[in-house]
Structure 1
C-alpha cells in the first residue's frame, strides 16, 4: 500500500524539464506583490515601438543576418506567449553544421519537453535496463569469493557453500527491505532521499557519496569484467583491453544520451539472452551432476598462500557481496516507470531479486560440484561453460552473452547516477547544471560526468577487475545501511498499518548491511578499500561546500520587502548614506552614472556615446592616454566634436589601459556608493570568427576586471563590420 507520507520534506517533485526553474515560495510571492505596489517607473510608460507578437513573421523563420543561428519558426501559444520550434541552437557555419548532423545521427533528433511523459519504461524494458548490473554480477561475484578462499588452499573452497547461503539470506533481506521503501517513497526511493529525510542531511550525503562511488566503480568493473570475458574467449585481444574498455564506455554514453526508451531498446536483448544462457547452463550442469548422484568432483590441488582464519573468511564474504551491487537501482528510478510507477517498480524489483538468488546460488553450487578453481587466464564462468558444453554452439553463445551483459551492465549506473545528481542538485548539494535535460530528455551533464570519471578510473587501474573489486563493496553497503536505517526511523514516525513488521524487516536489512559494510571496510582496507573510506567524507565535505555557496547565493538574490517611504535624497554638502547599489529593487531607488570608455573618436565610440546619452542619465566619457601629448590631441578632437559630454582623461605613462581604467571606475564607485555605475563599452563585432584574433578584445578584459565590483553594470554597444 502506498504511504500517505510519501512526499516528506517536499521531495515529491516530479522529474521534468521545468525542475531547473523552481517556483517562488508563497512568502516570496507576497514580497513580490509588495514590491510591485511601490514600483514607480522613472518615465511614463509608452507604447512599444514594435509588435511583440512578431505577427509579421508568423509561420516563417525570423530573419537572421549573420547566419550563426538556424532559422526558428514561431507560432502563438497562450495569450502573450510564443512557442519556438525547429533546431533553435543549430549553428550556421559549415563545420558546425557538419558536427551537428553527426550529433543528430548518433543521438537522434531533439524531443519536445512534453515527450517526457512518454519516455517511461514498461516492466519488460525496465527489468533488463535496471537489472543488468545486478544480474551480471553473478558472472564475477562467486569468482571473487572463491579467489579469496583459494588463498588458503583447495580445502577452503568448501566454505563457499555456507558463505553463499549467508549471502542469499542477505539478498532476500535487502531486497524485501527495498520493496517496502519503494511505495513509501514513490517519487524516487534512493538511499540519498531516504537517509536525508529520516537521518539528516549529512547521513543522506554520505549515502549519496557511497552510491556515486558505487556507480563509477560499476561502470569500471563491469567493463573490465566484460573485456576479460572477451579476452578469455579471444586471447589475441588481451593487449588491447584498455582501448576496448574505453570504446565500450563511449558506446554506452552515446546510447544513453539517446534517451531512456532508446537505451532500453538497445539493452533488452543482451540481458534476456544472458539469463536464458545461464539458466540453460544450470539446467544442463545440474542434470550432469544428478547423473553422478550430486557427488562433488575433487578440485585440483592448490597450495595454500595464507592461513585459513577469520579475516580471510570475512574478506571472501565481502568479495562475494559484490553480487548485490545494483539491487537499489529500481528504488532510485521509480519516476522512470510507467504508471502506476511504484507498483511497477516493486514488481520489477521482486523479479530481479528472485533471478539473482537463483543464478547466484545455482552457479556457486555448480562450481563446487564440478570442482573448479579460479584461474587468472580464464574466468570461472568460462571454465564452467567449457565443461558443461564441450561441443556445439552453446559455449560461444554463453561467452558472447556474458561479455555483452557485463559490458552493458554499466547501463544501470548510467540510468541512476544522473538521476541521483538531479535530486542532489535540486536540494542544492550539487551543481545546478545537473538539473538540465538534454535534447533527448536525458540528464546529459550527469551522463558525461559519469562516463568521464569511470574512464579515468578504468584507465588508472589498467582495466583489471581484481584491482577494482576491493573498492566496490564499501560504498554500496554504506548506502544500503543508511537507507534501511532511515526506513526504520520512517516507520517509527509513521506508525501505520503493519508498521512493526515493516520496521523489523528494514531493521534486519540495516543490521546485515552494516555487518557487511564493517567487514568490507576492515577486511579490504589494505587492498584498496581505504580509497573509498577516505573519499566518502571528502565528497560529503564538497557537497556541504556546494550547498553553502547556493545558500549564500539564495540569500543574496532573495526578494526583500521595500522600506516604507521614498528614499532620502542627500542635500548639498551632505554625504550620501553608503549602501550597496545592488540592493535596489525599485526604479525610484536607482541613481545612475553612465561611463563610456573611449579609445578614439570613431563611429563605434560615438555610437556608444549616443546610446549612453539617449538613456537620459548623467554621462561621463573617459579616455586613457599613454602620454600628455596624446591626451592633448584627444582633448582638441573632443572640442572639435563640440564638448557635449563631460570628458575625463587618464594619463597612463606605463601604457596600461585596463588596470588604470578599472581602478578609476572603482574609485568612482567608492566616492558614490549609492550610485549604479553603468559602463557602456563600444565593441567591434567582425562578421567572420577568424577575424576575432585581429582585435584586442579590451571590452571583454574590462568586463572581467569589473565583474567582482558590486553596483557596476557593464554593457556593450556592438558595431558590426559586414565587409
Structure 2
C-alpha cells in the first residue's frame, strides 16, 4: 500500500540514464531558481519602510535613494556571480570558490551559512506567503501555521517528483507573478501621472532632523534582504542543459534585470502613493488597493503574490540538496545526501530541508519576521567569501583581462562585507545567534569528516599483505523451547559448523528438568546447555555465557549467535508475540568478536 501511495505522489522510478532529461533550459531554470530572489519584491521595499517610519512619515522619501543603492549592489552581485559561473562551471557557488581559494574552514563557513539560509528561506517564504493570504482574508489568520505547513508538504512532493516536472508546474505561477507586478507598476505609474493618486507623498529631498546615518544604514541593510537567492543560479549549474555555464549566466542576467525593474518600480510607487507600513496590509496590498480598489485585479495580485512567496522556498529545494551533495562528497555531511531518489533528485536533502523548516514554523508559530535579518546575514557571509575567493583566484592565475575581473570582485567583496557588518552592528540583537550556531555547524562538519576518515583508516587493507585466514566457528542458538523454528535454525547451523550448542534459560528447576528430558527424547544431534535465571532475565545469563565462550574461543574460532525468529504473515499479528529475539539481537550486536544472525521461519495465515 505504501508503495502505491508513493508512486501516486511522486511517479514512476526513473533510470539513471534519464538524468539528461532532467536538465533545465533557461526559462524553466529562471522560474525554479529565481523564485526566492523575485519574491523579495514583495517584502524588500517594506523592510526599508519599516525602519524609516520610526523617524516619521516625512523620512519615507529616503526609501528611493536607498532602493537605488540596493539596485547598484544587485548589479555588482550579478556581474561578479557571472564571473563565478564561467570560472567554476561545475557549480557549488561560494562553497567551491572558498574551498579552492581560501581553504577548508572558510569554505565550510560559506557552505554552512548557505545551508542554514536555505532552511530559513523555506520557513520565511512560507510564512510570508501566509501573511499575503491573511491580508486578503483576515479570517484565516488563526490558521497561518497550518497553511504554511501545507505549502511545505506541497513543495516537498513537487520536488520529489523531479526537477523538470516541478519546474513545468511552478513556472506558470512564477511568470504570472512577474506579469502581474509589471501590470501593477505600469498601471500605478499611469495612475500617478494622470493625477489619480490622492495620498500626499513625503517631500523628496527634505532633511529630517531625527534621521541618522545609523538609521539609513539599518534601512539599507533591511532592503538588502531583497538580494537573497541571487547566488542560487551559480550553485545549481549542474541542473542546466548544455552549454550549462552559458545558460546559467544568461539566466542570472535575466533574473537580475527582472528583479531590479520590479524592485525599483514598487519602491517608486510606494513613495508616490505615500505608503506606510501596516501590520494588517502589506505594501503591495496597499499599492494594489490604491491603484485598482478592492476589485478582481486586487485579489489576483494578492493571490499571485501569496503564491510567489510560497514558491520562493522552491529555490532552496533546488539549491540545498545540491550543496548538501557536494559537502557529503567531501565527507562533511552524511553520505545519505549523495543518494539520488526514484526521480533522480537528492531526496534525502529535500526531506531534511522540509523537516527542519517545518520545525522552525511550528516553533515561531508562523511569525518568522524576526528571522529575516538572520536569513540575510546567512547569505551575505557566503557573498563576501565568494568575492574574496574570486579575488584570490585572479591574483594567482592572472588570466587575460584579470585586472578588470579583480576590480569587479573587489568592489563586490567590499560592498557585501560592508553590508554584513552593517547587519551585525544595526541588528545584533536579532543576528547574534549566528555567532553561536554557525561555529557549531562548522564543528559538526569536521566531526563528520573525522568519523569518515577514521572509518576509512580502519577498513582499509593492504592488497599485498592482508589476506583472509581460516578459523573455526562456534555456533550458539538461544532457544525458549522445542519448535519448528528451532528445528529450522539447527538445520541451518549444521551447515555452518560441527560445533553447535543450544542454550536454554529457565526460571526454575522444574522448567529446566522438563526441557532437558524433552531434548534428550528429541535428540537433534547438538548439545543443550541449560542456565538458571533467578531474576527471570534472559539477557543476564546469556550475556555471561557468551562472554565465557568469547574469552575461551575468540582466538581460534568465530563465535556466531543464531537467533530463531518466526515471521507472521500480517503486521498486526507480529504485535501479539513477545519480541525477545529482537531484544537479544539489539543487545548482542555490540560485541565486537561475536557474529549475530537471525534465522527466520515464515508462518502461514
Q: Same fold by TM (over 0.5)?
A: yes
Residue 718 (structure 1) aligned to one of 591, 600, 603:
600
Residue 677 (structure 1) aligned to one of 538, 548, 559:
559
Distance 1:267 1:431 in 2: 30
**8 A contact 2:553–2:559 mirrored in 1:** no
Deviation readout 1:632-657 (Å, 9 max, x if unpaired): 44334444444833443322222211
- Pair 1:168–1:702, CA change in 2 (3 A): same
Of stretches 129-138 and 155-164 in structure 1, the one that deviates more from structure 2 is 155-164
Distance 1:393 1:602 in 2: 75
**8 A contact 2:197–2:273 mirrored in 1:** no
Shift of 1:293: 13
1:624 maps onto 2:505 in alignment: yes
Distance 1:312 1:520 in 2: 12
Shift of 1:629: 4.3
Distance 2:530 2:450 in 1: 43
Distance 2:137 2:520 in 1: 85
Distance 1:221 1:147 in 2: 17
Deviation readout 1:108-148 (Å, 9 max, x if unpaired): 22222222221111111111111111011011001101110
Distance 2:210 2:454 in 1: 57
1:546 maps onto 2:479 in alignment: no
Residue 608 (structure 1) aligned to one of 489, 504, 512:
489
Q: Say how many residue pairs are matched.
A: 600
Distance 1:307 1:109 in 2: 63
Distance 1:198 1:646 in 2: 67
Residue 503 (structure 1) aligned to one of 401, 406, 410:
406
**8 A contact 2:560–2:597 mirrored in 1:** yes
Distance 1:155 1:350 in 2: 36
1:634 maps onto 2:515 in alignment: yes
- Pair 1:278–1:114, CA change in 2 (3 A): same
- Pair 1:200–1:296, CA change in 2 (3 A): farther
Distance 2:479 2:473 in 1: 19
1:266 maps onto 2:136 in alignment: no
Shift of 1:434: 1.8
- The residue number in structure 2 matching 1:537 is 439
Shift of 1:260: 0.8
Distance 2:546 2:452 in 1: 29
Shift of 1:294: 12
Residue 653 (structure 1) aligned to one of 534, 553, 561:
534
1:226 maps onto 2:129 in alignment: yes
Shift of 1:613: 1.9
- The residue number in structure 1 matching 2:583 is 701
Deviation readout 1:468-509 (Å, 9 max, x if unpaired): 323221101111112222222223333322223222222222
- Pair 1:354–1:626, CA change in 2 (3 A): same
**What is the TM-score normalised by the length of structure 1?**
0.78
Output aligned runs, 1:298-317, within 5 Å. Answer: 298-299=201-202, 307-317=210-220
Shift of 1:676: 1.9
1:421 maps onto 2:324 in alignment: yes
User: What stretches of structure 1 of length at least 5 have no aligned partner?
Assistant: 1-96, 565-584
Distance 2:282 2:520 in 1: 88
- The residue number in structure 2 matching 1:238 is 141
SS at match of 1:267: helix
- The residue number in structure 1 matching 2:571 is 689
Shift of 1:610: 2.5
1:149 maps onto 2:52 in alignment: yes
SS at match of 1:383: helix
**8 A contact 2:563–2:585 mirrored in 1:** no
Distance 2:8 2:488 in 1: 45
SS at match of 2:275: coil
- Pair 1:489–1:620, CA change in 2 (3 A): farther
**8 A contact 1:299–1:373 mirrored in 2:** no
- The residue number in structure 1 matching 2:416 is 513
Distance 1:153 1:473 in 2: 25
Residue 278 (structure 1) aligned to one of 175, 181, 197:
181
- The residue number in structure 2 matching 1:42 is none
**8 A contact 2:222–2:373 mirrored in 1:** yes
1:493 maps onto 2:375 in alignment: no
**8 A contact 1:133–1:412 mirrored in 2:** yes
Residue 117 (structure 1) aligned to one of 20, 23, 34:
20
Of stretches 664-673 and 679-688 in structure 1, the one that deviates more from structure 2 is 664-673
**8 A contact 1:626–1:653 mirrored in 2:** yes
User: What stretches of structure 2 of length at least 5 have no aligned partner?
Assistant: none
1:378 maps onto 2:263 in alignment: no
Distance 2:356 2:507 in 1: 50
Distance 2:544 2:394 in 1: 62
Residue 187 (structure 1) aligned to one of 65, 90, 102:
90
Deviation readout 1:286-309 (Å, 9 max, x if unpaired): 344445699994349xxxx99533
Output aligned runs, 1:44-55, within 5 Å. Answer: none
SS at match of 1:284: helix
**What is the TM-score normalised by the length of structure 2?**
0.93
1:593 maps onto 2:496 in alignment: no
Deviation readout 1:386-443 (Å, 9 max, x if unpaired): 2233486433332222122112111111111122212222222222222222222222
Residue 257 (structure 1) aligned to one of 152, 157, 160:
160
Distance 2:304 2:576 in 1: 57
Name whichever structure is richer in helix by fraction: 2
- The residue number in structure 1 matching 2:364 is 461
- The residue number in structure 1 matching 2:73 is 170
Distance 1:670 1:306 in 2: 85
**8 A contact 1:662–1:702 mirrored in 2:** no
SS at match of 1:513: helix
- Pair 1:288–1:551, CA change in 2 (3 A): same
Residue 447 (structure 1) aligned to one of 333, 344, 350:
350
**8 A contact 1:296–1:368 mirrored in 2:** no
SS at match of 2:558: strand
Distance 1:689 1:272 in 2: 48
Distance 1:368 1:654 in 2: 81
Distance 1:610 1:379 in 2: 74
SS at match of 1:110: coil
Distance 1:282 1:488 in 2: 38
**8 A contact 1:593–1:678 mirrored in 2:** yes
Distance 1:614 1:360 in 2: 75
Of stretches 188-197 and 334-343 in structure 1, the one that deviates more from structure 2 is 188-197
Residue 292 (structure 2) aligned to one of 389, 398, 409:
389
- The residue number in structure 2 matching 1:567 is none
**8 A contact 2:92–2:323 mirrored in 1:** no
